[in-house]
Each structure stands twice: as structure tokens, then as C-alpha cells.
Structure 1
């Protein structure tokens, strides 16, 4: 992104935009350079929704602040780090760590599907970050294969763009239009509030996609997929092997019947040990932050 002089744009007298990295339902992600700390970063430019009377800048600002506040509270290798939030020229910019990674969606697109032990390892690492977020009172609300980054050494959950502080009554229960219905918990599709078990459904649906090579509700017609997701269970997995118990437990339609994150972590660690992959015993952070600790 250049200015009229042909030079790359400078944000906040600190971040020089270099080139676009990608686009999602909420905005454009740029590669940029932090002149102060002399490091490359990723900067997400939040594009506001448009209405008949113009851009909904108030909603864009609220959404960006929620993303930065939610992700900025977290510090875990499986959660993308948020460094800064800027507002300039009527636009909002979120500064994050820069990762050279493929998404889980891209990886499965290249390989067709992932082996059971790869999927279990990805799930175990990702679940550590998700448990950390839930322990801090933060919900993601949009876990899907496009938001899971694979660097080779890390599995990272990105894009807390519609994350909500657990129990925050100001957060809408509406599912944003860019969310893929195959990865949204059935109760959320029916308008019920998000909670940790809804994140676990989305987590399970993403593991289903990884090992099976397709979503739990496949199809190119969004309305048909939505209808299936609201009315019936996913098709039984065919390639999951020992992961089948994890997937069935996470993808139970009644939220109260789903296995917990702790239970899922134990099952995944057992699969990995059987496969000869050493992992630490699953545990939660020693200090849990009350959900309302930073909301005053």
C-alpha cells in the first residue's frame, strides 16, 4: 500500500505497510514492518460493514476493540499474539505477530486429509490454547479450519474478530454471516448464546475436517448445509480410527452431553502416547482469571 509519493504507507508513525497477505470476512491482513522494534508484523485492516446510509464505522470500531481486548488478554503459544491497536484516517488496524504458516484448510486442501496422529497432535496443541482462553473468560466463537495456522512447530488459533468475553451481556447472539455453518454449534445456529461448549463443537468439527478431508456437513449450497447442521448429526467419520471417540464426544448436539475440554485433552494425549508421540500431561494454567476480572 503506497502513498501518493510512491512510498509504502506509514501507520502511527511506526508501522510501514509492505504487502497484503490475505483477506477474510472482516478485513485485509498486511505484512508490515515495525520501525521502532525493527521487526516484521501482521496488521489487520478492519473493513466496516456497509449499510444503505454508509459504512457502519461504529460497529467496525466496536468489533475491532473487542478483538484486540479479547486476544490481548491471552498469552499462549497456541493463540496469536496481539501487539497494538490503531485508529487512523477513519480505519482501524490491529497489529499482531507475523507467522509464516498455512491454514489447516489450505493444508488439507493440498494433502486431501491428515493422518490420525497428525490430527491428534494438532488437536492437542490447539486445545491447550482454547483451554487457556476459556480459563481467562474469553470465547472465540468462530473456530474453523481457516482460522487454525500451522507453522511446522506451532499450531495457532487466530482471528478473535468475533470473540466475546464469556458472560458479557452486550455481545450479540447473532451468528455473523461470514461464519461457515458446518463449524457452528447447533444451539448457536438457533440463536442461543455462545459458551465454551459451543467453541468445543467448532473445535471438534475442525478436527473432523482434518482427518476426514471434508466438513461434518459437506455441500456447496450454504442453505442446504445450514439445514443439515440444524436438523441432524454429522455423518460418522470413516478415517478417524481412535479419534472417533473424541469426535463423537465433541459433536454431540445437546451441549450438556458434550465432553469437556479436559476430557478431550486426556483422550488426545492417550492417542498420541499410543502412537509414540511424547506430550506433557494436559493441565490448566495455575492461575485462572475470573471471567469478569477485566470487564469493569
Structure 2
């Protein structure tokens, strides 16, 4: 058993399909009552199931979502990996080309999710997993199960202010631009070895400290960490810039893929 911000994670064995899995019990922190609680729970389960349909190597696979006697369980792919948080703590900071490679792989999964109308809402170094050959974003759908729908102002599970978009800290709803800010904050943390701004202070006072170790990554970080979400760099722009950095560093990567051309109805609002 391990433990993360969402609660205990159990290593288990699926006897039917004969594979090891990870199982996490989710304990929703809903504050609504009566009929509102029922609707919120229904919306959260629907959104988490949508996240479970994501299929990308940079997104952890969700095998099943169970509700037994009022308790919620999510069955996921089991990975033996270090988190980005632990890796940076051990090494101090990561080289530019490592950070660019991690970011490029991760952004592929995030753009895939956004292209299918699914938000993450809680991207932070603790749920970015590094294996031998994969970069994997975990906990898609977990925020929804805890009541953090796209229309909610509920804070993410980790409540790590340095990795939450300023508009979310001010009570705004979750959006793809908010996910991209958190993604940029994680890249900043990787290459600089520290969060992009001090955690203390009111949301209006959020000011990103200029990076000093980022080199060619600096324009990417500055574009993703713009205070105004309308002026923030898009995922497509970031992917192209990261691929160019990697090409310059002599690291071959596939061209960035386009997300879905048309989103499902009510994307980001379920």
C-alpha cells in the first residue's frame, strides 16, 4: 500500500484478467445536501468515467470505477515509477533537455485529454510519474470524484498553491488554460528546482519569479505562466516549441499531434 493526496493506494491482483492493478478508494468531499448531493455525485461519476476512456501512453490507464455500498473505488494501471517531485528533490533540478522531453511527452497526454473534453484540474509534480521510458500523468478524474467539477470552485486535492492557476486561486472555474498553467509550473519546478512563486500571499499577488536555469525553455515557461488565461500560450504552441528545443538538442521526437477537431457536446462542463 502507498498513500497520496487522494488517499491510500493498494496494490492488488485482478484474478479474472490475471494482472496486477492499483486500487484507490475515493472519499468525496461534497458539501451539497439532498438532491444536490445526488446530482453532484452523478456528475462526478460521469466525468470520472469519461477520464477512464482516455487512451494515451502519457495518461495512466483507468480500468474500472466501482461503487459498492456507497463507497467509490477506482482501479488503475499499476506503475513502478518515481514522481517528478521526488526526482527533482533528489537531483536538485533537471537539465533543459530532460525537462523538455518530459514536457513534450506529458503535453501529448494533456492535449489528448483536452481534445476529448476532459480536464485534469490538479496537475502537480506529485502526480507526474517517471518510468524507464514513459512520462505518465496520473489521477485524471480524481478531482471530479472529490466534487471538483469544471463548474466548481473547489480547490484541487493537493492544494499546492504554487501549481494552481491564479484564476483558480481567485475562485474561477477549471478550464484547459488552467491545466496548462499548472503544466508550465511543473516544468518550471523541474528545470529550476523550485516552484514558480512563493506559496504564501493572496491570489492577486501571484508573481512568477523569472527563471534563471531554463535557457531555451524560458519562452515556453513565460508563455504558459501568463497571469491572464486569455493571453496564455496554447498547448499546440507549447508542443511545437518543445519539439524544436528537442530537435536543437539532438533528441528525435515525433511531430506534435493535433487534438480532436471537434469536442463532444458539453465538454468541460459535465
| TM bracket, shorter-chain basis | 0.7 to 0.9
- Residues paired across the two proteins, number: 262
Query: 2:246: which partner in 1?
Result: 272
**CA 1:48–1:197 in 2, change beyond 3 Å: closer, same or farther?**
closer
Post-superposition offset of 1:86: 1.6
Gaps of 5+ in 2: 32-36
Q: Does 1:257 align with 2:257?
A: no
**CA 1:204–1:228 in 2, change beyond 3 Å: closer, same or farther?**
farther
Q: Does 1:178 align with 2:158?
A: yes
Q: Over aligned residues, Cα RMSD in angstroms?
A: 2.7
Checking the alignment, whether the CA contact within 8 Å between 1:108 and 1:114 is kept in structure 2 is yes
Post-superposition offset of 1:70: 3.2
Checking the alignment, whether the CA contact within 8 Å between 2:143 and 2:157 is kept in structure 1 is no
**CA 1:182–1:37 in 2, change beyond 3 Å: closer, same or farther?**
same
SS in 1 for 2:63: strand
Higher percent of residues as strand: 1
SS in 1 for 2:13: strand
Post-superposition offset of 1:63: 8.1
Post-superposition offset of 1:195: 1.0
Distance 1:206 1:107 in 2: 12
Q: Does 1:43 align with 2:23?
A: yes
Query: 1:87: which partner in 2?
Result: 67
SS in 2 for 1:208: helix
Checking the alignment, whether the CA contact within 8 Å between 1:82 and 1:97 is kept in structure 2 is yes
Gaps of 5+ in 1: 1-19, 52-56, 219-224
TM-score (norm 1): 0.80
Checking the alignment, whether the CA contact within 8 Å between 2:166 and 2:206 is kept in structure 1 is no
Post-superposition offset of 1:291: 4.2
Highest relative contact order (Cα 8 Å, sep 6+), 1 or 2? 2
TM-score (norm 2): 0.88
